[in-house]
Structure 1
Amino acid sequence: MDSNKLQGSGTMNSPPFWFPKGSIDPTLFITKHKGDILLVQIYVYDINFGSTNLKLSKQFEKLMHNKFEMSMMGELKFFLGIQIHQSPRGQAKYAQEILIKHGMTSCDIVGTPMATKHLDADLSRTPVDQIKYQSMVGALMYLTTSRPDIVHATCYCARYQAKPTEKHLTAVKRIFRYLKDTINMGLWYPKDTSFELTTFLDSDHACCLDLCKSTSGGVQFLGGDKLVSRSFKKQDFTSMSLVEAEYVSLSACCAQVLWMRTQLTDYGFHFDKIPMYCDSKAAIATSCNPVQHSRTKHIDVRYYFIKEKVEKGIVELFIVETEYQLADLFTKALPEERFKYLVRRLGMRCLTPEELEVLANESA
């Protein structure tokens, strides 16, 4: 179906369906009516749509049927190889299934998914079944989409899929042991809150024991408490100082924020002076100072774009005390008390039916 045909009008008794094409995503069409929004996403011959008002969705369904003789296939369940299922219990069922699959239902529980000691290649130890190790890591990687608390540990273990040893397998099993104790944990998104875009970023200098490379981590929130994006990545080059590692992490996080800012314009949100929180005063000073110092001139030029964004007022950099640095969860293994504090700050809750009722009453 030609997507331009969506730019039609409704019936006399329905709101006008004029769909301006997204400036960033040309397959996205958006219309607003009396404070409600209807989103239409086109992929080849499929149309996925949703609205904040069920009546708008029903009217759009009727319009498509009358004008183009299109049939409604019901609620979205499967798309592009991804199974979609809305459930109040989140991915607890999937977590239980992988615990059973890998024989971890009777294991002892732990309070954190990763020990505070870093992993290394461990070349002198006994190798383990690579297929089994990859299967366990792959199952956990899928779960990270809704469980940011296991992102750091899972991605760290994923680095050693080529030649896993007993040490690496023990680390993966620890994630399953943590998962058993927190099987109902998930992200909770309260309604009717503000809609500001904020971000926290951090780095762990030379944390990779094999290559002495640093790790960048970042989290992005909408409304201050709704986690919408997170990242964990080993930096491309070896930073010679903590400041350099933080500066590279700052630039990478800025790139993610700019992409999100651009995408949100299609939904009618325009952000400037986006707050970015970093716990390194030196990295912030480097980003705000237009003078290139000898200590930083060897950093790849692609990271310097952040200075331009600061000067234009698109982003603002703020210092945050390490105690409140939410991105720590994605860059380093933490003691149990601090780990649990940050998990809760990310908006994760135990989504049992009883707890869901309590949360719903609190946000009502």
Structure 2
Amino acid sequence: MAGQTLGKKSKLDKDLQGKPVDATLYRGMIGSLMYLTSSRPDLTYAVCLCARYQAKPIEKHLIAVKQVFRYLKGTINMGIWYSKDTGMFLTAYADADHAGCQDTRHSTSGSAQFISDKFVENGIMELYFVRTEFQLADIFTKPLQRERFNFLIEKLGIRSMSPETLKRLAEETDE
């Protein structure tokens, strides 16, 4: 499946009859991939799909995670540079009160995210009719072919660059 994190028809489920795998290893792999989703939105859909099964992962879940790693190996030179000149910026606020309820020891947490000056409510931004080819949210919600991914990156004003280019840009910023 070159160019895709998971196949379009990938169906993962609990499958109680499946062969269990090492949950600690599985969680570690998911954690590493979750870290990458901040600069690789093409991974978000597949990683979140696999993350659902961290409690009792089975062999087919591990195979799916390994497929994401194989995809990464084939796209190792991809990355995102959020240029300060694009006018698009993300602001996020979060707060938590861990075990704050004295009776139940329940925790309370909350967060708010803004893209530019628009509030993202429950992970959703209100959109008006947008033609299919301009659905920019697809990059964060679906597995995409490389051509579609690059098209959406360009529309968002984000550039995908090699590690060498990213290093050079970082050095220029430090000067």
TM range (shorter): 0.5 to 0.7
Deviation, 1:316, is 7.8
Q: Distance in 2 between matches of 1:317 and 1:326?
A: 11
Tell me if structure 2 keeps the 8 A contact 1:329–1:342: yes
Instruction: Decide which structure has the larger Cα Rg and report it.
Output: 1
Could you say which residue in structure 1 is the equivalent of 2:26? Answer: 133
Q: Distance in 2 between matches of 1:165 and 1:143?
A: 23
Are residues 1:338 and 2:148 paired? yes
Counterpart secondary structure, 2:16? coil
Cα distance, 1:355–1:327 mapped onto 2, change above 3 Å? same
Counterpart secondary structure, 2:29? helix
Cα distance, 1:148–1:332 mapped onto 2, change above 3 Å? closer
Q: Distance in 2 between matches of 1:350 and 1:140?
A: 19
Are residues 1:188 and 2:42 paired? no
Tell me which amino acid in the other structure corresponds to 2:2: V
Higher normalized contact order (CA 8 Å, seq sep 6+, divided by chain length): 2
Find 2:4's aligned residue among 105, 112, 118: 112
Cα distance, 1:334–1:349 mapped onto 2, change above 3 Å? closer
Deviation, 1:163, is 1.3
Deviations 1:62-99 (A, max 9, x none): xxxxxxxxxxxxxxxxxxxxxxxxxxxxxxxxxxxxxx
The structure with the largest strand share of the pair is 1
Find 1:163's aligned residue among 56, 68, 72: 56
Q: Distance in 2 between matches of 1:149 and 1:158?
A: 15
Deviation, 1:335, is 4.3
Q: Distance in 2 between matches of 1:316 and 1:153?
A: 24
Find 2:45's aligned residue among 143, 152, 155: 152
Q: Distance in 2 between matches of 1:129 and 1:275?
A: 40
Deviation, 1:184, is 2.7
Could you say which residue in structure 1 is the equivalent of 2:164? Answer: 353
Deviation, 1:275, is 10
**What's the % identity of the aligned pairs?**
48
Q: Distance in 2 between matches of 1:189 and 1:171?
A: 29
Cα distance, 1:170–1:343 mapped onto 2, change above 3 Å? farther
Counterpart secondary structure, 1:260? strand
Deviation, 1:150, is 0.9
Deviation, 1:129, is 1.6
Deviation, 1:153, is 1.0
Tell me which amino acid in the other structure corresponds to 2:163: T
1:21-36 to 2 correspondences below 5 Å: none
Structure 2 unaligned segments of length 5 or more: list them.
Answer: 93-110, 170-175
Deviation, 1:178, is 1.2
Could you say which residue in structure 2 is the equivalent of 1:324? Answer: 134
Tell me if structure 2 keeps the 8 A contact 1:116–1:335: no
Deviation, 1:319, is 1.4
Deviation, 1:157, is 0.5
Deviation, 1:356, is 7.2
Structure 1 unaligned segments of length 5 or more: list them.
Answer: 1-108, 196-221, 231-254, 265-270, 277-301, 304-314, 359-364
Deviation, 1:349, is 0.8
Count of residue pairs the alignment pairs up: 147
Cα distance, 1:336–1:184 mapped onto 2, change above 3 Å? closer
Q: Distance in 2 between matches of 1:149 and 1:349?
A: 12
Q: Distance in 2 between matches of 1:192 and 1:348?
A: 12
Counterpart secondary structure, 2:33? helix
